Structure 1
């Protein structure tokens, strides 16, 4: 099981979530990337059918709510169903623009 990061930062201005992991690794994840990879059952089913969700590049994470094994993110499009496990976040890589 992946441990929680030591610190989490959320920048509305840059549209990035910053995770400071224990090993000294800093991970920056764009809000649009996080929304496209939402792990909720509805979004997973959408992706399993081969559909890519349309996500505005202007989407923002409004709230970051730690849930023990991960974090719930509340997005500016009102989507808030996904809880992102720490290991899932650590495995995500920022996509090229």
Structure 2
């Protein structure tokens, strides 16, 4: 299920998603960075290591990929493509 709308607020440090079921989701940029689904970040989490992320990190670019969205962060990290289902399952942060 793809969102109907996606918005990015750099000033509030939040990504907002509107889903077809009427649900509105607000996700914090730093938490999104910590939950990056790329292989490197997943490997860290599987070892029980939480990536160190500056709370001031921002999503500076959104690149739609059909099944999800690539998020580019202000710390230079851009490897993660966040599938829509993955984002939908993240709790509001």
The verdict on a shared fold, with TM-score over 0.5 as the criterion, is: yes
Aligned 1:17-96 pairs, distance under 5 A: 17-95=15-93
What is the CA–CA distance in structure 1 between the aligned matches of 2:75 and 2:2, rounded to whole Å? 26
Out of 14, 29, 34, the residue aligned to residue 16 of structure 1 is 14
Query: Considering only aligned residues, what root-mean-square deviation do their CA atoms show, in Å?
Result: 0.7
What is the CA–CA distance in structure 1 between the aligned matches of 2:54 and 2:73, rounded to whole Å? 11
User: TM-score, length-normalised on structure 2?
Assistant: 0.97
Q: Which runs of 5+ in 1 are unaligned?
A: none
What is the CA–CA distance in structure 1 between the aligned matches of 2:76 and 2:92, rounded to whole Å? 23
What is the CA–CA distance in structure 2 between the aligned matches of 1:24 and 1:89, rounded to whole Å? 15
Q: CA deviation at 1:94?
A: 2.9
What is the CA–CA distance in structure 1 between the aligned matches of 2:45 and 2:21, rounded to whole Å? 32
SS of the equivalent of 1:10 reads strand
SS of the equivalent of 2:26 reads strand
How many residues are matched?
93
User: TM-score, length-normalised on structure 1?
Assistant: 0.93
Q: Decide whether the 8 Å contact of 1:73 with 1:80 is kept in 2.
A: yes
Deviations 1:32-81 (CA, angstroms, capped at 9, x unpaired): 01000000000000111110111111000000111000000000000000
